[in-house]
Amino acid sequence: MSTFFGASPCTRPLGRSIFSPLASKPRQCRRSLRVQANIFEDFSKWKSEMRQNARIARLEARDKQENFKKKIVTQPAVASMMSFFSAVRKAMDPLFRIIEFLQISIIRFAAGYDNFALDECKRMWRWKRENEEEIKFWLGVLAFIRGLLLTCLYQFFVPSSVLRAIVVPMSVGFFLCDRFLTSPQALAVYLTAPLKFYMTGWQFIWY
């Protein structure tokens, strides 16, 4: 019995070889956690030190810049130049105020004109959109009246010739209008040709 429960020296190495890895694993885990904690602590310290160094360098650069500006301003040449410019500024201050007032007035006037032009463009666009078909109709009427008057004027100076009084106006209406029989040139021929040939006693020439 003593040999079975580990009293014998033959069973002791067997028991150690079986249970020793299980006993050593928690120690290794504890060591790795300690190492990680130390690394994280060192990194946080290094990070805070870097931030402090950067802040110190920034403040030193700002102090150097301010000291350099003070040195430049305290020089006699620069001081005299700055006093001269300040005197000119004081002398030109009323002119600057007048210019600023004029600029503000021009900007306000331009803004008002822009609003007026925008409203006018909107109004014209709305009117064209609502009355587009009516505009096309009246433009067609004006073009018809213009062609009729021009053809009548042409008939007033042309003799009673079949070619010049009838064929030429009808050809122009054929090329300008889709329906040349109802074109303004044809209507002018219908109105003026009978009167023209009637006044000459229905005597005409072919050319």
**Residue spans of beta strands (DSSP E) within 57-184:** none
The predicted pLDDT at position 8 comes to 43
> What does the DSSP assignment read for 18-40?
HHHHHHHHHHHHHHHHHHHHHHH
Flag the least confident range among 2-6, 44-48, 133-137: 2-6
| Residues present in the chain in total | 207
Task: Quick: pLDDT tens for 134-161.
Answer: 888 888 889 889 888 988 888 888 877 7
Q: Is the pLDDT of residue 28 over 70?
A: no
Of 204 and 71, more confident: 71
pTM value is 0.37
Q: Mean of the pLDDT values across residues 183-200?
A: 79
Q: Is the pLDDT of residue 199 over 80?
A: no
The predicted pLDDT at position 24 comes to 47
Mean pLDDT of the chain: 76
* Cα→Cα distances 135→6, 48, 98, 178, Å: 118, 79, 50, 20
What single-letter amino acid sits at 162? V
Q: Is the pLDDT of residue 202 over 80?
A: no
Categorize the per-residue pLDDT at 31 as very low, low, confident or very high, splitting at 50, 70 and 90.
low
CA separation for the pair 180, 34 (Å, rounded): 106
What single-letter amino acid sits at 55? R
Categorize the per-residue pLDDT at 9 as very low, low, confident or very high, splitting at 50, 70 and 90.
very low
Q: Is the pLDDT of residue 190 over 60?
A: yes
Task: Quick: pLDDT tens for 63-101.
Answer: 888 888 777 777 777 778 878 888 888 888 888 889 888
